[in-house]
Amino acid sequence: MPQQDPAETPAAPTAPEASEPAAPEPTGPRVFTITALGWIAFLGGPLAGGFALAYNARRFGHAREATYAVAGGIVATALLLALILQLPEAVTGHWAYRGLLSGLWAVITVAVAEKTQSERMDVHFAAGGRKGSGWAGAGMVVWGFAVLVALGAIVSLAMPVFEGTPHERVGGGTVYASGDATEADARYVGTALRQFGYFPDGEAAQVSRTQDSARVSMLLIPEIETDTVFLQEVHLLAAHLQQALRAPVAIVNVVDGFSGRRQTVLTDVLPPELRFRPPPPPLPEQSGPPPAAPASGQSLAPEA
Which residues neighbour 279 within 8 Å (Cβ) at sequence distance 6 or greater? 235, 238, 239, 242, 248, 249
- φ/ψ bin of 283: left (φ > 0), alpha (ψ from -120 to 50), beta (otherwise): beta
Distances (CA, A) of 26 to 29, 130, 136: 9, 5, 18
**Percent helix, strand and coil across the chain, each rounded to 5?**
50, 15, 35
Tell me what pLDDT residue 108 has: 92
Neighbours of 77 (CB within 10 A): 22
| Helix locations, 159-225, DSSP H | 183-196
Tell me what pLDDT residue 92 has: 60
Is the C-alpha dihedral spanning 285, 288, 289, 295 positive or negative? negative
d(CA 154, CA 257): 10
Burial of 197 (0-12, 13-18, 19+ CB in 10 A): exposed
Tell me what pLDDT residue 91 has: 61
Tell me what pLDDT residue 300 has: 46
Is the C-alpha dihedral spanning 67, 68, 71, 72 positive or negative? negative
Q: Report whether 239 contacts 129 (CB < 8 A).
A: no
Tell me what pLDDT residue 279 has: 47
Domain locations in the chain as residue ranges: 34-158, 165-274
In the chain (304 residues long), the average pLDDT of successive 10-residue segments reads 55 55 65 92 91 92 92 89 68 70 89 91 88 90 87 70 76 80 86 77 80 85 81 84 84 70 75 53 52 50 46
Tell me what pLDDT residue 33 has: 92
